[in-house]
Amino acid sequence: MRAEFSENLITRNELIDSQHRELIDRINKLLDSCEDSDAKLAAIKTLDYLSDYTVFHFGAEEELQKEIEYPGYEAHKEQHENFKKTISELDEMLQEEEGPSPAFVKKVEENVIKWFYTHIEGFDRSVAEYKFMREHDGRL
Ligand SMILES: [Fe+2]
């Protein structure tokens, strides 16, 4: 399984969308690295590469939410914190095991890719919609 940027992930916020594309790219690099001959080292590196950008991206999204006084900020931030926890659990799995086991790959598919899809379609799209409404409709 690989992550894919499909139409239902578009938030219509250019900054968020372009960062999501980059994240998807990094998730796929992680999965590719699991098939490398030196998979353990490669996966540790690509997980770190994904983790760096995740922190950067969540920071940008949270900053944007503060700027527009988004009412769902706390709940959204909690989602981001949960995801960061997943990344550190994945890191622990890699450190403890010989390399990226089938359980590791499964966790990436379930807790990274699927989480990401659900998060974007619900949480991120709602932020972008709120921002759009705020800019185009005086009622907010
Ligand atoms: Fe988000």
Which domains are delineated in the chain? 10-135 (1.20.120.50)
The environment of the single-atom ion ligand 1, i.e. residues with CB closer than 5 A, is 61, 124
Q: Residue 97 gets which letter from DSSP?
A: S
- State the distance from the centre of ligand 1 to the C-alpha of 88, rounded, in angstroms: 18
The pLDDT-based confidence of 105 (bands split at 50, 70, 90) is very high
- The predicted-structure confidence for 86-100, as pLDDT tens digits, reads as follows 999 999 999 998 889
CA separation for the pair 42, 32 (Å, rounded): 9
Rounded to the nearest whole angstrom, what is the distance from the C-alpha of residue 69 to the centroid of ligand 1?
15
Residue 138 pLDDT > 80:
no
pLDDT digits (tens, 9 = 90+) for 55-64: 999 999 999 9
Measured CA to CA, the distance from residue 133 to residue 140 in angstroms comes to 7
Asked whether residue 140 carries a pLDDT value surpassing 60, the answer given is: no
- On whether the CB atoms of residues 55 and 85 are closer than 8 A, the answer is no
pLDDT (0 to 100) of residue 139: 57
pLDDT, one tens digit per residue, over 4-49 is: 999 999 999 999 999 999 999 999 999 999 998 889 999 999 999 9
